[in-house]
Amino acid sequence: MAKTVIEIPYVVELPVGPQHPALHEPLLIKAYADGEEIVKVEINTGYNHRGIEKLMEKNNFYRGIFIAGRVCGICNSVHANCYVRALEYILGVEPSRRAKCLRVLAMELERIHSHMLINAVMAEILGFTSLFMNIMLDREKVMKAKEILTGNRVLADYMMIGGVRRDIDGVKRDKLLNLLNRIEVDVKRYKKIFEEDDTLLKRMVEIGLLSRTDSTKYSFVGPVARGSGVRIDSRASDKYDAYDEIPFNVITREEGDSWARMMVRWDETLEAISISKYALEHLPSDANPVPDERRLPRAFPEGSSYARVEAQRGELTYFVESRGGANPYRVKIRTPSFLNIIHSSILYIGYTIADLPVILTSLDPCVSCMERVTIIDLDNGVSRKIPFKELANWRRGD
Amino acid sequence: MSFESKLSSLKKYFVEEQLIKPNRKVYVFKSSDIKYLFKELIDNFGFDNLYVSTIVGTDLLKEGLIRLDYYVVFLPEEVTVVFRTFISRENPVIDSLIDIIPGVLSGECETHDLLGVVFKGNPYLKRGFFVPKDIVDSKEYPLRKDSKV
Amino acid sequence: MKEIAVEKQYVTGLAKIIRYSPWLVHFNTGACNGCDIEVLAAITPLYDPERFGVKLAPSIRHGDILVVTGAVTKKAGERLKRLYEQMPNPKFVIAVGACAIDGGVFNKAYSVLSGADKVVPVDIYIPGCPPRPEAILDGIVKLLSKLK
- Alpha-carbon distance C110 to nearest alpha carbon in chain B (angstroms): 7
Whether A20 and C30 lie within 8 Å, measured CB to CB = yes
- Whether pLDDT at B77 is above 80: yes
pLDDT higher than threshold 90 for residue C146: no
Q: What is the pLDDT of residue A11?
A: 46
pLDDT of C75: 65
**pLDDT score of C11 more than 50:** no
8 Å CB contact between A155 and C130: yes
Which amino acid makes up residue C25?
V
Q: Hey, are the CB atoms on C75 and B132 less than 8 Å from each other? A: yes
CATH number, position B74? 3.30.460.80
> Which residues of A are less than 8 Å from B149 in CB distance?
18-19, 54
pLDDT one-digit tens code per residue, B30-76: 999 999 999 999 999 999 999 999 999 999 999 999 999 999 999 88
**At residue C23, what is the residue type?**
W
Residue A36 marked as a ligand binder: no
User: Domains in chain B: how many in total?
Assistant: 1
Residues in chain B with CB shorter than 8 Å from the CB of C78 are none
- Given a contact cutoff of 8 angstroms between Cβ atoms, the answer to whether A328 and A68 are in contact is no
Give the residues across from B70 on adjacent strands: B55, B83
Chain B residues 82-141 with a CB less than 8 Å from chain C: 132-134
Q: Taking 80 as the threshold, does the pLDDT of residue C12 lie above it?
A: no
pLDDT classification of B100: cutoffs 50, 70, 90? very high
For residue range C26-78, list pLDDT tens digits in order: 887 766 778 888 888 887 777 888 888 888 777 778 888 899 888 787 667 77
Please determine, for residue C24, whether its predicted confidence score (pLDDT) is greater than 90.
no
Question: Quick one: pLDDT at residue A305?
Answer: 95
Give the other-Cβ count within 10 Å of B48's Cβ: 15
Residue B122 to residues A200, B105, B107, Cα–Cα distance (Å):
40, 8, 11
Residues of chain A with CATH 1.10.645.10: 52-334
How far is A232 from A212, CA to CA, in rounded Å? Answer: 12
Please spell the DSSP secondary structure of A188-219, one letter per residue: HHHHHHHHH-HHHHHHHTTSS---HHHHHHTT
Contact between chains at A217 and B131 (C-beta distance less than 8 A): no
* Alpha helix ranges (H) inside chain A: 52-58, 61-69, 76-91, 97-125, 129-150, 170-196, 198-204, 212-217, 223-226, 234-238, 258-281, 336-342, 356-362, 388-391
- Interhelix angle A129-150/C34-42, rounded to 10 degrees, is 120
3-state helix/strand/coil string of chain C: CCCCCCCCCCCCCCHHHHHHCCEEEEEECCCCCHHHHHHHHHCCCCCCHHHHCCEECCCHHHCCEEEEECCEEHHHHHHHHHHHHHCCCCCEEEEECHHHHHCHHHCCCCCEECCHHHCCCCCEEECCCCCCHHHHHHHHHHHHHHCC
Cβ contact C110–B132 (<8 Å): no
pLDDT at C10: 38
Task: Answer whether residue A260 shows pLDDT above 60.
Answer: yes
Does the beta carbon of A19 lie under 8 angstroms from any beta carbon of chain C? yes
Q: Do residues A45 and A57 make contact, with C-beta atoms less than 8 angstroms apart?
A: no
- Closest by alpha carbon to B22, among A305, C3, A211, C141? A305
Residue among B16, B38, B18 nearest B29 (CA): B16
Q: What is the CB neighbour count within 10 angstroms for residue C43?
A: 20
**CB C27 within 8 Å of CB C67:** yes
> Is A369 annotated as belonging to a binding site?
yes
Question: Does the annotation place A353 within a ligand binding site?
Answer: no
Give the pLDDT of residue A379. 67
pLDDT bin (cut points 50, 70, 90) of residue A369 is very low
Tell me what pLDDT residue A387 has.
66
Cα dihedral: B127, B131, B133, B138 (round 10): -80
Whether A117 contacts A142, CB under 8 Å: no
Report the pLDDT value the prediction gives residue A281, as an integer from 0 to 100: 94
Q: How many angstroms separate the CA atoms of A138 and A245, rounded?
A: 30
**What is d(CA B9, CA B54) in angstroms, rounded to the nearest whole number?**
23
CB contact under 8 A, C112 and A20: yes
Whole-number pLDDT of residue A47: 37
- What's the mean pLDDT in A143-169? 92
Q: pLDDT higher for A71 or A115?
A: A115
Is B100 or A375 the better-scoring residue by pLDDT? Answer: B100
Is residue B52 a part of any domain in this protein? Answer: yes
What average pLDDT score do residues A129-139 get? 90
A333 known member of a binding site: yes
How far is Cα A7 from Cα A126, in angstroms, rounded to an integer?
Answer: 20
Q: What are B126-144's pLDDT values in tens digits?
A: 887 666 677 778 888 878 8
Nearest residue on chain C to A55, judged by CA atoms? C109
Say if residue A21's pLDDT is above 70.
no
pLDDT tens for each residue of B15-42: 999 999 888 999 999 999 999 999 999 9
Inform me whether the C-beta atom of residue C110 falls under 8 Å from chain B C-beta atoms.
Answer: yes
Determine, for residues B149 and C75 on separate chains, whether the beta-carbon distance falls below 8 Å. Answer: no
Rounded Cα distance between C23 and A397, Å, is 30
Query: Where on the phi/psi map is residue A180: left (φ > 0), alpha (ψ -120 to 50), or beta?
Result: alpha
Residue A376 pLDDT > 70: no
Going by their DSSP bridges, the two strands C65-69 and C92-96 should be labelled as: parallel
pLDDT band of A199, cuts 50, 70, 90: confident
The residue of chain C with its CA nearest to that of B133 is C75
pLDDT tops 50 at residue A19: no
Interface test with C, best of A139, A142, A154, A390 (most C CBs within 10 A): A154
Nearest to B103 among A303, A307, A343 (CB): A343
Residues of B in contact with C74 (CB under 8 A): 134
User: What is the domain class of A52-334 according to CATH?
Assistant: mainly alpha
Q: Regarding predicted confidence, which is higher, B1 or A321?
A: A321
Identify the H or E element spanning A373.
strand A372-377
CA–CA dist A17, B131 (Å, integer): 7
**B148, part of any domain:** no
Nearest to C75 among A22, A136, A369 (CB): A22
pLDDT tops 60 at residue A363: yes
Q: In the prediction, which pLDDT does A386 show?
A: 66
Q: What is the pLDDT of residue A7?
A: 66
Is there a contact between B75 and A315 if contact means CB atoms under 8 Å apart?
no
Across the interface, of A51, A71, A117, the residue whose CB is closest to C109 is A51
For residue A328, is the peptide bond before it cis, meaning its omega torsion is within 30 degrees of 0? Answer: no
Higher pLDDT, A382 or A101: A101
Question: Are the beta carbons of A368 and C28 separated by less than 8 Å?
Answer: yes
Dihedral class, residue B37 (left if φ above 0, else alpha if ψ from -120 to 50, else beta): alpha
Task: Say which residue, A294 or A253, is predicted with more confidence.
Answer: A253
pTM of structure: 0.88
What does the pLDDT average to over A176-190? 95
Q: Is A82 annotated as a binding residue?
A: no
Cα separation, A123 vs A191, whole angstroms: 12
Residue ranges covered by each domain of chain C? 15-146
User: Mind telling me how many Å the CA of B20 is from chain C's nearest CA?
Assistant: 30
Count other C-beta atoms under 10 Å from residue C75's C-beta: 23
Interchain CB contact of C111 with B (< 8 Å): yes
HSE at residue B74, side-chain half, CA atoms within 13 A, is 19
Comparing alpha-carbon positions, the chain A residue that sits nearest to B79 is A237
CATH number belonging to the domain at C15-146, selected among 2.30.38.10, 3.40.50.12280, 3.30.360.10, 3.40.50.80 = 3.40.50.12280
Say what percent of chain A tops pLDDT 70. Answer: 83
Of A383 and A57, the one with more pLDDT: A57
Using a CB-CB cut-off of 8 Å, the residues of chain A touching C74 are: 22
3-state secondary structure labels for all residues of A103-163:
HHHHHHHHHHHHHHHHHHHHHHHCCCHHHHHHHHHHHHHHHHHHHHHHCCCCCCCCEECCE
Contacts of A213 in chain B (CB under 8 A): 47-48
Q: What is the pLDDT of residues A273-322, one digit of tens each?
A: 999 999 999 999 888 889 888 888 888 999 999 999 999 999 999 999 99
Question: Does some domain include residue B145?
Answer: no
- C-alpha distance from A245 to closest chain C C-alpha (Å): 31
Query: Beta partners for B8?
Result: none
Distance CA A156, CA A370 (A): 25
Q: What is the pLDDT of residue A294?
A: 86
Min distance B121 CA to chain A CA atoms (Å) = 18
Whether A123 shows a pLDDT value over 50: the answer reads yes
State the smallest CA–CA distance between residue A286 and chain C in angstroms. 33
For residue A384, give how far its alpha carbon lies from the nearest alpha carbon of chain C (Å). Answer: 9
Alpha carbon of A321: minimum distance to chain C alpha carbons (Å): 21
The Cα–Cα gap between C129 and A306 comes to 28
Residue A10: pLDDT band by 50, 70, 90 thresholds? low
Say if B116 falls within a structural domain: yes
Pick C34's closest partner by Cβ from A21, A48, A155. Answer: A155
Task: Kindly indicate whether the ipTM for this predicted assembly is greater than 0.90, answering yes or no.
Answer: yes
